[in-house]
Amino acid sequence: MTAPQRPTSQDAQGITKLAWRIFWRYRGRMLFFATAIAVGVGFLIALGNLLDSINGSIARQARTLMAADISISSGQPLPPKTQTWIKDLEKKGEFHSSKMLIFPSMLAPPKQALLSPSSRPSSVSSQPSASSKPSIASKPSASSRPSTHPSSLAARAKDPKSPSFENFRTPILVNIKAVQPTYPFYGALETTPKAWRKGFFGHHACMLDRSLAEQQGLRVGDTVRLGVLALKITALIEAEPDQLTGGGFGALAPRVMIPFDIARKTGLLGFGSRVSYRTLLKTMDPQRTDLRRIADVKKTLRAQLQIPNIRVTAYTEAQPTIRDILQRVAIFFIFVSLVALLLGAIGMAASVTTFLNEQMETVGILRCMGLGPRDISALYTRLCVGIGILGGLFGLTLGIALSAAGLSLVQNLMNLQLAWSLHWVYILESFGLAILLTWGLNAATVRSLAALSPQEILSGRQSQIPLSRRALFWTGLALFVGFFLYAARAALSLWVGGFFTLTLSGMILLCLLFILLALGACAWIAQRIQSSSPLAFVLRHGLRQLVRQRARSLTYLLALTIGVTLISTLQILQQSFEAEVQITRYNKMPNLFLIDVQREQVEGIKQIIRDFGGTPPTFNPLVRARLTHINGKKIQRKALRGASLEARMRANAIRREYNLTYKRTLNESETVVSGRFWKAGSTKMEISLEQRWAQRLGLAIGDTMRFDIVGQPVEGTITSIRTINWRSFLPNFFVVMTPTALQDAPQQLITSVALHPPSKIATFQRALVRRYPNVSVIDLGRVIDLVRGVLGAFLAAMRVLAWVCLAIGLFILAGTLGMGQRERREKVALMRALGCQYRTLVAIDVVEFVTIGLITSVVVMVVSWGTGAVIAQQMQIAFQITAAQLLQILLTALLLPFGVGMLVNAQTYRAGVQENLRRSE
Amino acid sequence: MQTTTAQPTAPTATSTKEALMEVIDLHKSYLSGGRPLEILKGVSLHIYRGESIALTGASGSGKSTLLSLLAGLDRVTQGQILLRGDAMQAWDEDRLARWRREEVGFVFQDFRLVKSFTALENVSLPLEILGWDGQKARQRAEELLEHLSILPRAHHFPHQLSGGEQQRVAIARAYAHRPLLIFADEPTGNLDPETSQQVLDSLLNINDEEQTTLIMVTHDMSVAQRMKRHIPLRAGRLEEDIRSAKDEGAKA
Amino acid sequence: MPLATILRWPLLFCLLIGTLSACKKQQPPPTAPQARPQDTPRPRPITKPQTVLFLGDSLTAGYQLAKTEAFPALIQESWQKAGKPWKTRNSGISGDTTAGVLSRLSWVLKPDVHTVFLAIGGNDGLRGTNLDSSRANLEKIITRCQKAGKTVVMAGIQLPTNYGPDYRKRFAEMYEQVAKAHKVVRMPFLLKDVAGIPALNLADGIHPNPKGHQIIAKNVLAFFQEKALFP
């Protein structure tokens, strides 16, 4: 050890120089301290940054999904005043605007779908002239409804070229979207052929969903009839940016796009039409979008359009659900990285304390050379800050690497377009956090070190830097509070942050308690093994070695147990979670919902499902009812005028029409949480409610509810409360009654079907609807895919995280075990000098490490079981742990300290006595 | 006081008794900065049972190196050390360790007590290594501490003891298993004169009582003079071999 | 926590289905004030059947309105004022189809029902259903009502213009032909003078508002008078 020389001057510069010299002299260890802290910092940075990127890209995606910045949709054209206002916006160069119509209609495919394309273009091109005169032709009966819309059908007899009914097949329901050339503002319409604009605008043209074309045997160039027009198919739609817009029945029907200009000529618009009118706005410079301006415009529009059923949406509000989910997922990860930070901090603080202890002699010499306590404090504070800066630098580097990796992961799994960016806030945060931790956690030790008198140090009377309990307490408290605040900020919820902090603190305290108990037990055992056998000697000394180095043992036992606990908790959770997901494995997961089935159709539908290779499902009756009385008291309609939208929605929840069902037994996704579900043969009027629903309405067991079912009152008593596992994709109902109560009521049946592969769905749907036209089929495949994508990303990230945690644990463990090396070397040298054999020495250490492993594995098993159960309950997944998992934890915890310890000390064992003596000095 | 030169050929005067250790032309060199640094340059010496030998010399004269070679803590570069005629360099580490735990005791300048062990535990350590049962080892350790009048400090940890006390614990530890040889490396180097005397008294008393061979490295002439034999080293060679009159008389 | 939220997505699907299947429902408030005769288990002879059952969808149910604002209730009010013994019963379910009505016939065809006023099929049309099946359902409904000794009055319904002339024509013809074949009294268009007039409809442009229902009630009463029903 080269004793640092006395600085030439005691000014700040000298101190800094001295600090730098010490830093450089021990650069290896400084690197370790910095790395320990950098891991957690890196994680936090990466996650924060990733979350920002995802949020940003979701906003961009929301633009794409709306194909605009602001969308105004209403059942009528916008009032002239608003139209003028929008035009002004355009004139001012602020916004582009585009109009769009969305409505359901019936499209008739040609009788010979595969008619040679050459035979029809002429009829198409001749169309415009034929449809110029309006006439009343579509009224089948003496309707009293005046019709003012143009229709060319009247002309069909006279004009042989106009599309006649006879040349077309039965019409099918489609979802029409009429667009202007500016469409789409964001995103891209993917078609085959790619250049869809060619021959589209200004022509009698249309584009169809590929699925529709395939189902009907249509090709590009074919002519279909829409309203009174014959339209030539110019392209097939492969993907549409703003697909999800438009509601009602049309939303489920295949898309057909037509030019905005010919929409009016189809004869489908006008009096009695049910059309959604859209106006889309796009800022002139999307790169530099002023969110406040968008909010302003939106507000103004809302104020102008005091017409009900007009919706004004800004892209910033779109997709709140996904954003919310991501936010929450991110919070989970931020919590995990906070834990990594905590682990690193513990490792760093423990090893820095050891280091400072070793520095006592140097301090004594420096003090003798005339440095005051203040200088010593400044010196080591600077050293800590130096470690912090290095840690911040490493953390930032790691953060950048991790977020780049995470970015590509998320990009692949969630199909998000992410842009890489690094906000300066994160750079600050990285350095700030690292410096704060290295300084804050060691401040008390540094102060105590500085306060020691040189005499105390040099006389050797003080073997360790004395740490006051009070300093430890305050440091712990500050850490706790800081952690809580950080967690609460990340979660945007004091409660969640508190829950997390408390769980974690509880876990740490529990670990500490177990460890203290175990160490006590070890001391007791060591005291009792006094026999002369070599085994007893080894056991006694191994245990004594562990027990006597109390502070060091506590530190690494704590670091080890917390680390392994976290890793195994994560793993248990991950496996519980994967087990959950597997219950709803893709092949078994229902992907179709059938609704509006009539009872007499059940057998036939089951047969069709069987024909398509599906498993015939259970059909659940659905009875529409309205809640009229609770506990015999009539529900009053409240005056809601002027009430907030939310209040109205809440009120509607009570008044709205409910879907009830009746059944004899629960399905596999239902669990009764209180009360008792009726026996299969119950003839009473009993009700079972879903838990959340019951809570929302403030209902409990014993309450009565009266429903009005098409005029008939049906009353029952609540006898049980259930929870439902919605992931099952089984049809489930908030309100279930006994068959006695409902079986005669008007009802339809619904069911969910798993039909794989999804390519069968289209033919299945056709087969089903041909025979049972009243049955509606809802394809959940896409939504399921989306959910699976998110879950997949989540699982993958969890796995990566668990591995990284393991790596951190190993790293910190190696460092912590290494920190007692000087003493271990000395002891090994001495024992060898006293004639102790090599293998005896190794055996003693094996006893120590195996004991550490045993303590760790027991503590880890107990604590991670507990924490896992608590967190699983919070995340609402079934907590499961298998024997294999337990064994895995046990082995990991057992072998980890042993392996690492042996590895770290291998050199010590190999070295000769003199070498160890020299090195320990 | 009679002086003889330390010749490789064993002094005939003392050959009446078989030598315990025989050192023949001992060389030791270390690599220092990539170049070999020769510390011992041919040392020959006989050591007899019950002797007390002081190895003196300036820093770097090789006295400590000689001590650790004698104790089997390091390997010789050239030459031989015979223990009762048996060449020690042929022994493996385990054999050396066995020898040390059975017949050797150590006293170091900086005491080298196990910091996490009490005085009593430190003293019991060599006995335990020898395979004594814990209780017996304890009793023997207590006796020794009693003898060195530090029994009241038996349950204190090294850092709670003064330097003299620590060194007495170290001496007790060295003698605990009644070794044949005790190697002491500047045992009084860290102690004040008064304490030094006390510690030295303890060492020599036990040496007398138990007929243990004591080999001590020291630079303190007053200490060296209290030993039966004084061997000064200079630059890796023996300068002379001084025997005290007392010892001479005993041998005659 | 996060997972819970993700996993609760399916709940959204279920809500979605609820919304779809109930597509245009949301009917009267639960303050159904009608003094409806409690199920009379006694056979017909005891009370002379004097109830007119309005079987239909949201148009009958009075989508988004109180049940008292829907036209069946208005008709009864008018009869009450005129001192007539006739009563009405509203059996409209939002979103209901011909198949739905067919399957709930047994629930509603109570002995006290004298006449069935059938106004159903709009949702069949809005869903683009194959009209052959709707027609078959209508015929079955009528046959069963007639077999039960009820008089059947059928109201015609028209589809929004955007469904196109071809389909709308076929749809309208369906009512004409069924009425003719089963000798049913037919009211050509339930929403006469109401459909398409913004002032008489809700913002969705398809469901009558309270004023609209008053006109419907007036028209239905006039139609009854014209056909000499319910003296």
pLDDT in tens, A285-329: 766 666 677 778 878 887 777 665 677 777 766 555 555 555 556
Tell me which chains share at least 3 CB pairs under 8 Å with chain B: A
- Could you tell me how far CA A749 lies from the centroid of its own chain? 34
- Within 8 A of A624 by CB-CB distance, chain C residues are 22, 25, 93-94
- pLDDT at residue A791 above 70? no
- Within 8 A of C1 by CB-CB distance, chain A residues are 328, 332, 496, 871, 874-876
Question: Is residue C99 in a domain?
Answer: yes
Q: Cβ separation of B134 and A838 shorter than 8 Å?
A: no
- pLDDT at residue B62 above 80? yes
Nearest to C160 among A76, A272, A635 (CB): A272
pLDDT in tens, A695-706: 877 888 999 998
- pLDDT at residue A876 above 60? no
Cα–Cα distances in angstroms (integers) from residue B76 to residues A740, B40, B60, B65, B100, in the given order: 102, 10, 17, 10, 17
Tell me which chains share at least 3 CB pairs under 8 Å with chain C: A
**What is the pLDDT averaged over residues A450-473?**
75
Nearest to C196 among A170, A272, A732 (CB): A272
pLDDT value of position A287: 64
Interface of C with A in 18-47 (CB under 8 A): 18, 20-23, 25-32, 36, 39
A466, A570: one domain: no
Distance (Å, whole) CA A872 – CA A45: 26
**What is the pLDDT averaged over residues A500-517?**
84
CB A803: neighbour CB atoms within 10 A? Answer: 13
Instruction: Give the residue numbers in B contacting A (CB under 8 Å), as ranges.
Output: 68, 71, 73-75, 93-94, 97-102, 104, 106, 112, 114-117, 121, 125-126, 128-136, 159, 163, 173
- Highest mean pLDDT (candidates A669-673, A691-695, A902-906, A914-918): A669-673
The distance of C190 to chain A (nearest Cα, Å) reads: 10
Count how many domains chain A has: 4
**What is the pLDDT averaged over residues A639-660?**
53
Distance (Å, whole) CA A638 – CA A635: 9
Domain ranges of chain B: 2-251
A352, A477: one domain: yes
Question: Is residue A5 in a domain?
Answer: yes
Least confident of A17-31, A46-60, A433-447: A46-60
Q: Cβ separation of A105 and C127 shorter than 8 Å?
A: no
**What is the pLDDT averaged over residues C167-178?**
92
Q: Are A735 and A623 in contact (CB under 8 A)?
A: no
Distance (Å, whole) CA C90 – CA C74: 11
Active-site annotation holder among C94, C112, C207, C213: C207
A798, A704: one domain: no
The distance of B85 to chain A (nearest Cα, Å) reads: 21
The CATH number of the domain holding residue C200 is 3.40.50.1110
CATH architecture observed for domain B2-251: 3-Layer(aba) Sandwich (3.40)
Check if A533 contacts B (Cβ < 8 Å): yes
Residues constituting chain A: 921
Burial C29-41 (b: 16+ CB within 10 A, else e): bbebebebeeeee
Chains B, C in contact: 3+ Cβ pairs under 8 A?
A: no
Q: Cβ separation of C176 and A787 shorter than 8 Å?
A: no
For residue A879, what is the DSSP state?
-
Which residues, including other chains, have CB under 8 Å from residue B11's CB and lie 6 or more apart?
A: B4, B46, B241
A324, A411: one domain: yes
Helix/strand/coil for A123: helix
Least confident of A8-12, A668-672, B139-143: A8-12
**What is the pLDDT averaged over residues A791-814?**
64
ipTM above 0.85, yes or no: no
Which residues, including other chains, have CB under 8 Å from residue B134's CB and lie 6 or more apart?
A: A529, A530, A531, A532, A536, A540, B124, B128
Helix/strand/coil for A190: strand
A55, A184: one domain: no
Least confident of A226-240, B146-160, C11-25: C11-25
CA angle B163, B166, B172 (to 5 degrees): 145
pLDDT value of position A418: 62
The upper half-sphere exposure of residue A479, i.e. CA atoms within 13 Å in the direction of its Cβ, equals 24
Sign of the alpha-carbon torsion through C8, C10, C13, C18: negative
Question: Is residue A715 in a domain?
Answer: yes
- Within 8 A of B102 by CB-CB distance, chain A residues are 835
**Structural domain of A719:** 618-753
Cα–Cα distances in angstroms (integers) from residue C104 to residues A118, A486, A599, A658, B173, in the given order: 52, 59, 10, 17, 102
A481, A387: one domain: yes
pLDDT value of position A138: 37
Q: Are A466 and A445 in contact (CB under 8 A)?
A: no
The distance of A812 to chain B (nearest Cα, Å) reads: 24
Burial B66-97 (b: 16+ CB within 10 A, else e): bbbbbbbbbebeebebbbeeeebeeeeeeebb
Check if C110 contacts A (Cβ < 8 Å): no
Burial A378-402 (b: 16+ CB within 10 A, else e): bbbbbbbbbbbebbbbbbbebbbeb
Query: Which of A288, A305, A331 finishes a domain?
Result: A288
Check if C219 contacts A (Cβ < 8 Å): no
**What is the pLDDT averaged over residues A522-530?**
86
Map chain B to HEC letters.
CEEECCCCCCCHHHCCCCCCEEEEEEEEEEEECCEEEEEEEEEEEEECCCCEEEEECCCCCCHHHHHHHHCCCCCCCEEEEEECCEEHHHCCHHHHHHHHHHHEEEECCCCCCCCCCCHHHHHHHHHHHCCCCHHHHHHHHHHHHHHCCCHHHCCCCHHHCCHHHHHHHHHHHHHCCCCCEEEEECCCCCCCHHHHHHHHHHHHHHHHHHCCEEEEECCCHHHHHCCCEEEEEECCEECCEEECHHHHHHHC
**What is the pLDDT averaged over residues A18-47?**
85
Q: What mean pLDDT, rounded, does chain B reach?
A: 81
Q: Are C205 and A77 in contact (CB under 8 A)?
A: no
pLDDT value of position A117: 42
Q: Are B113 and B176 in contact (CB under 8 A)?
A: no
The distance of C205 to chain A (nearest Cα, Å) reads: 7
Which residues, including other chains, have CB under 8 Å from residue C198's CB and lie 6 or more apart?
A: A76, C205
- Largest pairwise CA distance in chain B: 51
Residues constituting chain B: 252
Query: Which of A463, A492, A521 finishes a domain?
Result: A492
Count how many domains chain C has: 1
Of the pLDDT bands very low, low, confident and very high (cuts 50, 70, 90), residue B189 is: confident
Active-site annotation holder among C57, C58, C96, C213: C58
**Structural domain of C220:** 46-226
The distance of A807 to chain C (nearest Cα, Å) reads: 25
A262, A387: one domain: no
The DSSP result for A210-259, as a single string, is: HHHHHHHT--TT-EEEETTEEEEEEEEEEE-TTTT---TGGGGSPEEEEE
The DSSP result for A64-103, as a single string, is: HHHTSSEEEEESSPPPHHHHHHHHHHHHTTSEEEEEEEEE
Q: Cβ separation of A598 and C100 shorter than 8 Å?
A: yes
Question: Is residue A691 in a domain?
Answer: yes
- The gap between the terminal CA atoms of chain B, to the nearest Å, is 14
A51, A76: one domain: no
Of the pLDDT bands very low, low, confident and very high (cuts 50, 70, 90), residue A420 is: low
Cis peptide bond upstream of C198, omega within 30: no
The distance of A59 to chain C (nearest Cα, Å) reads: 19
pLDDT in tens, B12-50: 444 446 788 999 999 988 877 778 888 888 889 899 888
Q: Cβ separation of C204 and A309 shorter than 8 Å?
A: yes
Question: Is residue A383 in a domain?
Answer: yes
Task: Provide the β-strand partners of residue B241.
Answer: B4
Question: Is residue A775 in a domain?
Answer: no
pLDDT in tens, B204-233: 888 888 888 999 998 888 888 888 898 988
- Could you tell me how far CA A503 lies from the centroid of its own chain? 21
Q: Are A561 and A515 in contact (CB under 8 A)?
A: yes
Check if C218 contacts A (Cβ < 8 Å): no
- pLDDT at residue A134 above 50? no
Comparing C-alpha atoms, which of A109, A241, A221, A106 is closest to residue A175?
Answer: A106
Q: Cβ separation of C17 and A577 shorter than 8 Å?
A: no
- Within 8 A of A461 by CB-CB distance, chain B residues are 159
Distance (Å, whole) CA B77 – CA C52: 123
Check if A918 contacts B (Cβ < 8 Å): no
Distance (Å, whole) CA B229 – CA B216: 10
The distance of A537 to chain B (nearest Cα, Å) reads: 7
- Within 8 A of A533 by CB-CB distance, chain B residues are 131
Of the pLDDT bands very low, low, confident and very high (cuts 50, 70, 90), residue A799 is: low
A75, A52: one domain: no
pLDDT value of position A419: 64
Please say if C213 is a catalytic residue.
no
Nearest to C97 among A712, A731, A774 (CB): A774
Distance (Å, whole) CA A251 – CA A268: 18
Q: Cβ separation of A732 and C14 shorter than 8 Å?
A: yes
Please say if C114 is a catalytic residue.
no
- pLDDT at residue A12 above 70? yes
Helix/strand/coil for A152: coil
Distance (Å, whole) CA B10 – CA B2: 16
Question: Is residue C53 in a domain?
Answer: yes
